[in-house]
Structure 1
Amino acid sequence: METRSLMDMTLVSGAIEPCVNTGIGTSSDKANSNSIAGQPVKKKKAMTSLYLKYFETASDGKTRRCKFCKQSYSIATATGNLGRHLNNRHPGYDQIRDTAEVGPHTTIANDSTSKSLSSIQAKPQIDRDLINWFLLKFLINASLPFSTLEDESFISLYKFLDPRAKIWPREQAEAVSLQVFQSMQEDVRASLQNVSSKICLTLDFWTSCEEILYMSVTGHWIDDMWHMHKVLLNICHIAYPCSGPEILYALTRVISSFDLDMRIVSCTTNNSQQAGHACQLLMEQMDSQKRPFFYIPCGAHALKMILEGGLVNLKPILSKIREFMIEVNSNCDALEDFKQMVALYQEGPLKFPIDTSASWNGDFTMLDLAPNAVDNTMKKHEETIGGGCSLTLPPSEYSAINILHQFLDQFYKTTTNLCTTKIRTVGLVLFFIDHIADLITSCRDDSCQDWLKTLADDMYNRARSFTGQVYNGFTFMCAILDPRIKRELVPDALNSDKNLEEARGFFLREYSKNNNHFMVITSNGFGGAHESGFSSSIENTDAVSFAEEIARKRRRSNISLTKDELSQYLTEPPAAMTTDALDWWRANSARFPRLSIMARDLLAVQGTSVEPDELFTSRGEDLHKRRYCLPFVNVRPVLCVSSWIQSGYKFRLGPTEIDFDSLVETGVGKRG
């Protein structure tokens, strides 16, 4: 399809109508231009009218001459008369941007020269239409509803900037955004056709202000150069009652629309019962067609649930501290006093402004605040902070905060590491969860505080509930293919000989031959008596041909070599935790030609269904605000197009790519 620039495209009909400004107004002439004979002429003030720039003063200083037609007027002629001359003789004179360019042969539009006026007006008309495209992109990037276009203050702003500019009606902007969405979705679909590896899905759910449940479906894969990719496929409305069958219906439509039926291998969900039910139904469908498919719960959601269990008893205290810090952040005097107290008591360092979000990072920040600085600032500003209520914490509450802060410090480091890690493989996520479980067990066994032991028991039960769902042969395979994890760092409850044998069977069956990649699988997804490439009719025949005997020897040799790849890989020590797992496989794929194919497929399986910082930092609150307020008609065009632009896809309407950066540079260059 031929790609054209925006300047070549036919602009949306009705977007901008030609607007001709025939003048900037005419001043009333209250002064008599003819002097009364016999009376002294009063000295006049220097004229500063806008009309004067279109006239030049003669060398004798007694007359002014029009720059267009050279007609002369007395120096005493009122500016109102000069304005009438311009309006009557030279309509369109105000479209000339630089009066220095005006010469004796300059043509200004009138009834006989409308073509010249059209050429003068052409560029401003295009620029005003481009304003709507930039406005459309602004609304999409900011995730604003298109009803913003109907806001009176917004319209007034545009009229102030350019009275001739016309903003697209909301309905037209919505129609154009939908066309952009459809055009860019075709680009996404086309790009996925070139992916040679398996594609892994993640699901995220949220509810809008209209109480509509949405599901975003994202695809992840690793390319031939061992680079990880992800792209939002679609955002689906989940019909009431929003249970497993409704989620399954929406999910299968997305899979089919992108022709992924034979190419997906896994789906990571948000741990909700309804999403798990939908994935279970999908796995049963795939299994009936002898296609492998697995689903796992999200490690980040599980970790968030564990942390919420650790903070449940301190929520009232955290709320009190958060209320105090929100007011301090908004009060310059109180904030300055707080900073001085922090320095005085040598408490900190603290990062200002203090994170007061309701996220896990915000909660931990509340636990980490300087107690003396908080206490003294509260006392000094108790009349202006807290609405007249005392926010001072008693010693018992400070003691509980200090104990819990020490206990949760390792949790904070873990979540921070998880948020900043570029490639979050299943093995790495399970490694972190296992570390958290060990910390909880140690606290439960060693703590002298009964309330802390009770809290640790609740956190431990939540952790084990997750591991009971996620530990299976498939996650074992994904974990050991991370060269930093292998078997040495796989959690003990997952690191069983049974799982290893299932992994071997899966590897031999699916990856011993490239042309049999993911074609046959048993009912439980692992092991089984079938081996790809073997004909059951020949196996049951007593008389085996000479050619078949040779073929069997070669197959056994191939399987032996394949098995040795896995054995050799597992016998080597794990790589350092600072190693990039994909870089390691890029450097070692030649040593493990078949195992590397399996690694490329399974390392794309996501250990979390969303970016961890969406759950543990204030970014999650920002994302919720952006999605929550969007009406149904704007959700897909706004959120999908915004995500696709961030993923590197071009903003496109039909065959036309709209390069906003180039348009800005071109506009600046022309104005310069």
Structure 2
Amino acid sequence: MASDSQHAIENLSQENLTKNMEHEDQVLFNYPGKTRSIVWKYFGFTKKGLGPAIKANLNMNTAICKLCKKSYANKGNTTNLLFHIDHDHKRTASGDENNNIKKAPTQPTIQALIANPGRLTQKSRTNLDDALLKLIVGKALPISLVKNPHFIEFTKLLDPRYKLPSQQDVVKSLNTKKDQMRSTLKLDLGSVSDVAITHDGWTSCATESYSAVTAHFIDDKWNLKSAVLQTKKVEGSHTSEKIAEGLKEVQTEWKLPTSLTLVTDNAANERKAAELLGWTRFGCYGHRINLVVKHALEVTELNKILGKSRRLVTFFHQSTSATDALIEKQKLVFSNTPGLIGHKLITDVPTRWNSTLAMLGRLAEQLPAIMSIIFDTNCLNKTAISTVKTYCLTSEEHSVVQELISVLKPFETATTILCAESSPTMHKVLPCMVKIKKKLEDVESNPLTSPVVKKVILKMKEELLKRTQVEDVPLLAALLNPDTKNLNFLTAEEQVSARQLLMDTALNLKVDNAALPNVKVKQEEAVSAILPDLPVLPDIDLESDQNVKFECEKEGPSEKKMKLTDMDEWFDDVCFIGESQQPLQNLIELEVHRYFSHNQPQSSKQQTLLQWWQANHYFYPQLATLAKKYLAVPASSVPSERVFSLAGIVVDKKRSRLKPDLVDTLIFMKMNMETYW
């Protein structure tokens, strides 16, 4: 039957084709002369001149379908014409009993699309390849995913036209995308004058040492940006000279400013490396808080309580029957608070003090359920109940734990605040330390506080005094915050010293202060510069009236540089009556004085710190430069540690043989994906 239909189509007469074209406005002529291809049964040409339908009088460059009037270029090859007939008109089944040719429907059915989906465009293939790279990088999946038969089957069901690239092609695409992201990041880094970096080291499961460097800066639109610059394998020991050499290579490769602020942990080799480079170094406050609490928890009387707590948690973790009994008791004890049902006890980690706080907090929360296990002899055997009873906290120990939790909570809050990455943190260092000291004094002054907790507080105060002295970087950052610029939490002498530090730092932005040019200032401008407050100007909604046109927008000569005034310098002695030659140093002093005298309006309380500087940087240009420098410095080196949290997923036991360059590529793209993909 199919062969008969095919034969009928190939022998269609000119009368049948003409019959289907009677309603069309345009007359098409058959291919002139003899031809072997079947496509000329369906395609024709229009006339371009008078006379018979020969090649000279026909437009042979364009072939037009007699069924749907689609036009195609005729360059001697009929492949595109044949594809049109097969795909759009189903050439092998387009004839009926009377050999009448049927036009294809204007919109194909779903069944037709599934049976013959057509070719995949280059744009679609590029989008699918890019989505595949995002999946591999974003979820830290192995590149061998493209060879997984189940994933291949999954992609075929989604789109059978898409063919997964090979592993080699995926690696090439990753390197190409990485180069594009690096170029964009270099442009951002090249547009700023101050950059802060963090540095830390890490050892993988394959016993390979890596170092990570992250950059932090504020762009022209006052957005705080962070980026991972590199995750490089380090050979040999981590000496200060080797660290300094690696950081210098990063500075040269990324064309960073000559003077950088380096944030690291408190290791001696990191401190020495900063000295060798001549950079400003700031010790991570996350590590400082960790050391303060860690040493404070070493009080002898507290070690007994912590030891019992660890043994109790370990027993429940090792006994499934004890865990099941705890859950059953939770259902009875916490029937009115279902959110506490199902909570398991938490084991602390020696290197993380906040895990000790989490352990004590969960024990204090679940103590009623644990006590109910002790008094129920049927839920566990005698040995298990005896173990729980031995390690369970007494009422006095529970009271100490409750007090200790209230002491440690401010440290946990401060750590969370200072380790943030999406907003400035350096200006919060001093307020956090003042808040912690105030909380410690409140608990210590309470007559009901136990002697054990008082010993812990005394140890904390000693450690805070040793590790959290007032430094220039957090002090300047606090001064550059309008909410804390007065430093009310410091003594009057310290406030005066801090303002002088800000003045000196602003002046030191210039290499040679003695050679600063003199600036002409009108007498009235000099007077207005020292006024205590600036007027608050109303906001102008430029979008509300598109017809408003300012004088600066009027058309004028674009090639010539327009002066700020149309008066020549010859009139200076007439126009600038009472002028004074003001060195730039005096202008900076006036700017600083105006900044401290300016009262922040209530409406600006709704702004973030960077939004405030974006709105006011024109009034304080020199201080704005300092704000970009010091507010971009992170208060901790946690960004580098977060890199290694991802690195631990990328370089695991199943992928321990990854090449260092590929490790760097995957981490760079993952950590910078949201901003630079």
Interval containing the TM-score (normalised by the shorter chain): 0.5 to 0.7
2:217 aligned with 1:211: no
Asked if the contact 2:296–2:460 (Cα under 8 Å) also holds between the matched residues in 1, the reply is yes
Q: Which residue of 2 aligns with 1:523?
A: none
| Separation in structure 2 between the aligned mates of residue 390 and residue 171 of structure 1, nearest angstrom | 57
Equivalent residue number for residue 334 of structure 2: 343
Q: 1:457 to 1:129 in 2, by over 3 A?
A: same
What's 2:436 paired with? 436
Q: Which moved more, 1:269-278 or 1:416-425?
A: 416-425
* Count of matched residue pairs: 496
Match of 1:592 among 606, 613, 620: 620
SS in 1 for 2:292: helix
Change in 2 beyond 3 A, CA 1:586/1:210:
same
In structure 2, what residue type is equivalent to 1:271?
A: N
CA contact (8 A) 1:504 1:563 kept: yes
Gap regions ≥5 residues in structure 1: 1-64, 72-97, 108-118, 284-292, 511-515, 521-529, 536-549, 651-672
Q: CA deviation at 1:567?
A: 2.2
Deviation of 1:296 after TM superposition, in Å, equals: 0.8
CA RMSD across the alignment: 4.8
2:263 alignment partner, one of 263, 268, 274: 268
**2:404 corresponding residue in structure 1:** 404
Instruction: State the distance in 2 between where 1:330 and 1:573 align.
Output: 65
Give the aligned residue type for 1:507. A
Instruction: Map Cα deviations across residues 30-49 of structure 1 (whole Å, 9 max, x no partner).
Output: xxxxxxxxxxxxxxxxxxxx
C-alpha distance in 1, partners of 2:119/2:458? 74
Measure how far apart 1:297 and its partner are. 0.9
Q: Does 1:609 align with 2:637?
A: yes
Aligned residue identity for 1:467: T
- Counterpart Cα distance in 2 of 1:621 and 1:232: 11
Q: Tell me the alpha carbon deviations over residues 245-271 of structure 1, each in whole angstroms, 9 at most, x when there is no partner.
A: 111111111111111134x54122222
Aligned pairs for 1:167-206 (under 5 A) are 170=167, 172-195=169-192, 197-206=193-202
Aligned counterparts of 1:503 and 1:424: Cα–Cα separation in 2: 19
Q: 1:533 aligned to 511, 516, 526, which one?
A: 516
Partner of 1:158: 152
SS at match of 2:211: strand
Paired with 2:384 and 2:186, the residues of 1 have a C-alpha distance of 54
CA contact (8 A) 1:485 1:574 kept: no
Of residues 354, 366, 369, the one that matches 2:359 is 366
Q: Is 1:479 aligned with 2:475?
A: no
Question: Deviation string for 1:14-63 (max 9, x for gaps)?
Answer: xxxxxxxxxxxxxxxxxxxxxxxxxxxxxxxxxxxxxxxxxxxxxxxxxx
Query: What's the secondary structure of 2:638's corresponding residue?
Result: coil
In 2, the alpha carbon distance for the partners of 1:387 and 1:176 equals 61
Alpha-carbon distance in 2 for matches of 1:249, 1:133 = 36
Deviation at 1:489, TM superposition (A): 4.2
* Matching residue of 1:663: none
Q: Give me the whole-angstrom Cα distance separating, in 2, the residues matched to 1:139 and 1:239.
A: 28
What is the CA distance between 1:439 and its match in structure 2?
3.4
2:603 is equivalent to residue 566 of structure 1: no
1:55-87 Cα offsets, whole Å, 9 max, x none, are: xxxxxxxxxx6699689xxxxxxxxxxxxxxxx
> Any idea what SS the aligned residue of 1:424 has?
coil
Higher RCO (C-alpha 8 Å, min separation 6)? 1
Q: Which amino acid aligns with 1:483?
A: P
Q: CA deviation at 1:443?
A: 4.8
What is the CA distance between 1:641 and its match in structure 2? Answer: 0.5
Residue 318 (structure 1) shift? 4.9
> Given residue 428 of structure 1, which amino acid in structure 2 is its aligned partner?
K
Q: Which residue of 1 aligns with 2:500?
A: 501
Which stretch shows the higher mean deviation, 452-461 or 163-172?
163-172
Cα gap change, 1:428/1:357 in structure 2, threshold over 3 Å: closer, same or farther?
Answer: farther
Name the SS of the counterpart of 1:226 in structure 2.
Answer: coil
Indicate if the aligned counterparts of 1:487 and 1:495 stay in contact, CA closer than 8 A: no
Partner letter of residue 467 of structure 2?
Answer: F
TM-score, normalization: structure 1?
0.61
Distance 2:427 2:345 in 1: 31
Query: Is 1:228 matched with 2:251?
Result: no
* Rounded Cα–Cα distance in structure 1 between residues aligned with 2:264 and 2:493: 20
Mapped to 2, the partners of 1:253 and 1:247 lie a distance apart of 10
CA spacing shift, 1:271–1:148, aligned 2, 3 Å: farther
Q: 1:503 to 1:400 in 2, by over 3 A?
A: same
Task: Return the offset for 1:634.
Answer: 3.0
- In 2, Cα distance between the equivalents of 1:261 and 1:449? 53
Q: Please tell me the residue identity of whatever aligns with 1:410.
A: P
Q: Which amino acid in the other structure matches residue 451 of structure 1?
A: V
> How is 1:16-55 mapped onto 2 (pairs within 5 angstroms)?
none
Point out where structure 2 has 5 or more consecutive residues left out of the alignment.
8-85, 96-115, 519-575
Give the residue type in structure 2 aligned to 1:205. Answer: G
Please give the alpha-carbon distance, in whole angstroms, between the structure 1 residues aligned to 2:644 and 2:380.
29
Matched position secondary structure for 2:494: coil
* SS of residue matched to 1:123: coil
The range that moved more, 132-141 or 251-260, is 132-141
Letter of the 1:139 counterpart: I
Alpha-carbon spacing, 1:425–1:384, altered in 2? closer, same or farther (3 Å): farther
Measured after TM superposition, the shift of residue 437 of structure 1 is 3.5
Query: CA 1:621–1:595 in structure 2 vs 1: closer, same or farther (change >3 Å)?
Result: closer
Question: Do structure 1's residue 643 and structure 2's residue 671 form an aligned pair?
Answer: yes
**Residue 614 (structure 2) pairs with residue 626 (structure 1):** no
Instruction: Specify the structure having the higher radius of gyration (Cα).
Output: 2
Distance of 1:373 and 1:170 partners within structure 2: 54
C-alpha separation in 1, matches of 2:328 and 2:88:
60
Give how far 1:212 is off.
2.7
Of the structure 1 ranges 226-235 and 159-168, higher mean CA displacement relative to structure 2 is found in: 159-168
Q: Whole-Å Cα distance in 1 between the matches of residues 614 and 328 of structure 2?
A: 55
SS at match of 1:237: strand
Equivalent residues in 2 for 1:245-394 (5 A)?
245-262=241-258, 264-283=259-278, 293-311=279-297, 313=303, 315-320=306-311, 323=314, 337=328, 339-344=330-335, 350=340, 356=346, 362-369=355-362, 370=365, 371-376=367-372, 382=380, 390=388, 393-394=392-393
Between the aligned residues of both structures, percent identity stands at 20
Residue number in structure 2 paired with 1:48: none
| Shift in Å, 1:481 | 1.0
2:465 matched residue in structure 1:
464
Instruction: Give the partner amino acid of 1:407.
Output: V
Q: What is the CA deviation profile of residues 438-473 of structure 1, one whole-angstrom value per residue up to 9, with x for unaligned ones?
A: 4345556767544334433443333233224xx333
Quick one: which amino acid aligns to residue 604 of structure 1? A
- Residue 433 of structure 1 aligns with an amino acid whose one-letter code is M
TM-score (normalizing by structure 2): 0.61
